[in-house]
């Protein structure tokens, strides 16, 4: 038998393979991670813990193995972002307005993971309705990154957002892998902040059915894990056509994991000059140069490309995403889900108003206000229509760049993790964090972050690879080439 503290050192594919080889039982794995989750409460990474779900899946996996049946993720317990509806398990999107909501159905992505044998360790904390970059907008308190600066201070740091529970839990090794969602960067930026890997696939690869909607034309699910290979293995299970999602891609899911190759010979990797933004810290520029050297060493040819409308991406995103959010969040009316605030003698309108005033957090209200404004009759053309036009230009930028290259390489975020509270009073400073991740979201392209180095304070930094639509393989391959060369082995010291 392998000791439990050894089992939590294993990643997704290592657990899967060790279980298959009979090195340990799925129950031993689930018990080890359940204990790690219970011991990790100081991180506040979970909203709900579900040890019994992980154990039930493990027992089923052990029984099936005894009968000669081994499913693709048998023996692998996972953390699930609280944006995924899970049948019979509270799902809140980290918002008070969904307090106590227990879905009677399972999201397609979690259904696929569970059908593949994975278990659930719990529902992971996140920014409320996935709106944020630091996890500070959660109604359940912020997540604390397991990382600390090496300057002797103990300043608690943001794990990134909105998938900050996912990133913190994977980085702290209290889960081997997790689901995330990415609307403008919420898989990639938290992955970069915590030294793990995460991929947002092409829009439509993972069904959005049963995922609490934020901005429907941008939302995508994806995996967050310690390695590129683990991400590939999880993404294979999470992806696939779903007739219940009208924007789901009706394409076969490739065997990304089996086909992984870090040989980039014949690949042209574009370096978009507009990503060299003002005030970019030297360390980020240096990391980018290191990344260029790594992919060149793997055989790729480097080409300079231009994405001329990059600087309009953030303002465009912050019109389109709130517009869609204001429409999606209209359903939280106190009648159908979660919270209902019905003051004495209140009529229906007053009940709506009281419920929404109490249930939504400040950032969510800000987005509803902005979204309602840009969709209003007087301003629709000036903002929303204009933003859609600029979105088309951003899509065209990428199409033109991909005429001369196969993939793009950029930093994931303009800085390492910031301290909790450092940006929470300044929404614009917070929004600027998404400067490198938002363009690929607007264009629906696959993009991934891989850990590539540390800053001078000992904090992780990530590099982003953006691919053509449907070319997750190219993205994962370049991610692997960087992973192999960066040799990122740093991990947070255990203080929790």
Active site residues: 81, 162, 186
Please tell me whether residue 185 binds ligand GLN under the rule CB under 6 A. yes
Q: Whole-angstrom Cα distance, residue 17 to residue 74?
A: 9
37, 131, 294, 486: which one binds ligand GLN (CB under 6 A): 131
Please tell me whether residue 164 binds ligand GLN under the rule CB under 6 A. no
Q: Least distance to ligand GLN from the beta carbon of 292, Å?
A: 26
34, 133, 179, 310: which one binds ligand GLN (CB under 6 A): 133
11, 40, 96, 184: which one binds ligand GLN (CB under 6 A): 184
Binding mask 404-443 for ligand GLN (x = CB under 6 A): ------------------------------x---------
Please tell me whether residue 227 binds ligand GLN under the rule CB under 6 A. no
Report DSSP state, residue 237. H
Please tell me whether residue 368 binds ligand GLN under the rule CB under 6 A. no
Please tell me whether residue 142 binds ligand GLN under the rule CB under 6 A. no
Asked if residues 200 and 189 have their Cβ atoms less than 8 Å apart, the reply is: no
Q: Whole-angstrom Cα distance, residue 449 to residue 305?
A: 20
Please tell me whether residue 176 binds ligand GLN under the rule CB under 6 A. no
Binding mask 314-343 for ligand GLN (x = CB under 6 A): -------x----------------------
Q: Least distance to ligand GLN from the beta carbon of 360, Å?
A: 15
Q: Least distance to ligand GLN from the beta carbon of 244, Å?
A: 21
Burial class (CB within 10 angstroms; exposed 0-12, middle 13-18, buried 19+) of 344: exposed
Note the helical H segments in 271-361: 282-297, 313-328, 348-359
Please tell me whether residue 130 binds ligand GLN under the rule CB under 6 A. yes
31, 182, 236, 242: which one binds ligand GLN (CB under 6 A): 182
Nearer to ligand GLN by Cβ, of 321 and 445: the residue is 321
Q: Whole-angstrom Cα distance, residue 210 to residue 221?
A: 11
Q: Number of residues interacting with ligand GLN: please give it, by CB under 6 A.
A: 13
Q: Least distance to ligand GLN from the beta carbon of 9, Å?
A: 30
Backbone angles phi, psi at 47, to 5 degrees: -90, -40
Asked if residues 238 and 223 have their Cβ atoms less than 8 Å apart, the reply is: yes
CA atoms within 13 A on the CB side of 145: 33
Q: Whole-angstrom Cα distance, residue 390 to residue 393?
A: 5
Binding span for ligand GLN by CB under 6 A among 1-9, 33-41, 179-187, 299-307: 179-187
Binding span for ligand GLN by CB under 6 A among 181-189, 445-453, 457-465, 481-489: 181-189
Binding span for ligand GLN by CB under 6 A among 124-132, 291-299, 305-313, 384-392: 124-132
Give every CB contact of residue 4 below 8 A, 6+ residues apart in sequence.
28, 31, 32, 35
Backbone angles phi, psi at 384, to 5 degrees: -65, -50
Give every CB contact of residue 44 below 8 A, 6+ residues apart in sequence.
125, 140, 141, 142, 143, 144, 165
- Within a 10 A sphere around the Cβ of 429, how many other Cβ atoms? 13
Q: Whole-angstrom Cα distance, residue 57 to residue 118?
A: 7
Please tell me whether residue 186 binds ligand GLN under the rule CB under 6 A. yes
Asked if residues 153 and 182 have their Cβ atoms less than 8 Å apart, the reply is: no
Nearer to ligand GLN by Cβ, of 264 and 417: the residue is 417
Q: Phi/psi zone of residue 367: left (φ > 0), alpha (ψ -120 to 50 degrees), beta?
A: alpha
Please tell me whether residue 162 binds ligand GLN under the rule CB under 6 A. yes
Q: Whole-angstrom Cα distance, residue 415 to residue 459?
A: 10
Q: Whole-angstrom Cα distance, residue 466 to residue 201?
A: 10
Q: Least distance to ligand GLN from the beta carbon of 126, Å?
A: 8
Backbone angles phi, psi at 398, to 5 degrees: -65, -40
Nearer to ligand GLN by Cβ, of 63 and 362: the residue is 362
Name the percent of the chain in helix, strand, coil, to the closest 5: 40, 15, 45
91, 183, 262, 355: which one binds ligand GLN (CB under 6 A): 183
Burial class (CB within 10 angstroms; exposed 0-12, middle 13-18, buried 19+) of 333: middle
132, 223, 361, 446: which one binds ligand GLN (CB under 6 A): 132
Binding span for ligand GLN by CB under 6 A among 103-111, 130-138, 307-315, 474-482: 130-138
Q: Least distance to ligand GLN from the beta carbon of 186, Å?
A: 3
Q: Least distance to ligand GLN from the beta carbon of 131, Å?
A: 5
Tell me the residue nearest to ligand GLN as measured from the CB.
186
Residues engaged in binding ligand GLN (CB under 6 A): 130-133, 162, 182-186, 214, 321, 434
């Amino acid at each position: 038998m392998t000791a439990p503290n050894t089992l939590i050192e294993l990643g997704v594919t290592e657990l899967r393979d060790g279980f298959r080889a009979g090195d340990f039982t799925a129950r031993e794995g689930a018990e080890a991670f359940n204990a790690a989750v219970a011991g990790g409460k100081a991180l506040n990474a979970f909203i709900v813990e579900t040890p019994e779900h992980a154990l039930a899946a493990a027992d089923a996996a052990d029984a099936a193995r005894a009968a000669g049946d081994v499913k693709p993720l048998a023996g692998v317990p996972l953390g699930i972002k609280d944006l995924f509806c899970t049948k019979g398990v509270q799902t809140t999107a980290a918002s008070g307005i969904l307090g106590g909501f227990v879905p009677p159905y399972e999201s397609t992505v979690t259904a696929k993971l569970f059908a593949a044998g994975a278990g659930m360790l719990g529902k992971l904390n996140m920014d409320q309705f996935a709106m944020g970059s630091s996890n500070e907008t959660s109604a359940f308190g912020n997540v604390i990154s397991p990382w600390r600066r090496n300057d002797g201070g103990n300043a608690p740091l943001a794990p990134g957002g909105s998938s900050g529970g996912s990133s913190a839990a994977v980085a702290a090794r209290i889960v081997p892998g997790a689901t995330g969602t990415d609307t403008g960067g919420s898989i990639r930026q938290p992955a970069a902040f915590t030294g793990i890997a995460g991929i947002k696939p092409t829009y439509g690869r993972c069904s959005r059915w049963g995922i609490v909607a934020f901005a429907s034309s941008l939302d995508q699910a994806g995996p967050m894990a310690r390695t590129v290979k683990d991400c590939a293995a999880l993404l294979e299970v999470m992806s696939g056509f779903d007739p219940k999602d009208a924007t789901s891609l009706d394409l076969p899911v490739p065997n990304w994991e089996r086909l992984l190759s870090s040989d980039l010979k014949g690949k042209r990797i574009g370096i978009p000059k507009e990503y060299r933004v003002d005030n970019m810290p030297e360390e980020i520029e240096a990391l980018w140069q290191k990344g260029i050297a790594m992919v060149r060493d793997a055989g790729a040819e480097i080409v300079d490309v231009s994405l001329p409308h990059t600087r309009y991406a953030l303002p465009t995103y912050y019109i389109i995403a709130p517009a869609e959010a204001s429409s999606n969040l209209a359903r939280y009316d106190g009648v159908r889900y979660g919270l209902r605030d019905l003051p004495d003698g209140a009529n229906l309108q007053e009940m709506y108003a009281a419920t929404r005033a109490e249930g939504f957090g400040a950032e969510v209200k800000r987005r509803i206000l902005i979204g309602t404004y840009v969709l209003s009759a007087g301003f629709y053309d000036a903002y929303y229509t204009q933003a859609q036009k600029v979105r088309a230009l951003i899509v065209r930028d990428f199409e033109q760049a991909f005429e001369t290259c196969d993939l793009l390489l950029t930093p994931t975020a303009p800085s390492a993790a910031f301290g909790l509270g450092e940006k929470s009073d300044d929404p614009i400073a917070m929004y600027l964090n998404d400067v490198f991740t938002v363009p690929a979201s607007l264009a629906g392209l696959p993009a991934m972050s891989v850990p590539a180095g540390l800053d001078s304070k000992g904090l992780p930094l990530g590099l982003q690879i953006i691919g053509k639509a449907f070319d997750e393989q190219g993205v994962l391959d370049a991610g692997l080439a960087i992973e192999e060369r960066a040799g990122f082995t740093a991990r947070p010291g255990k203080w929790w």
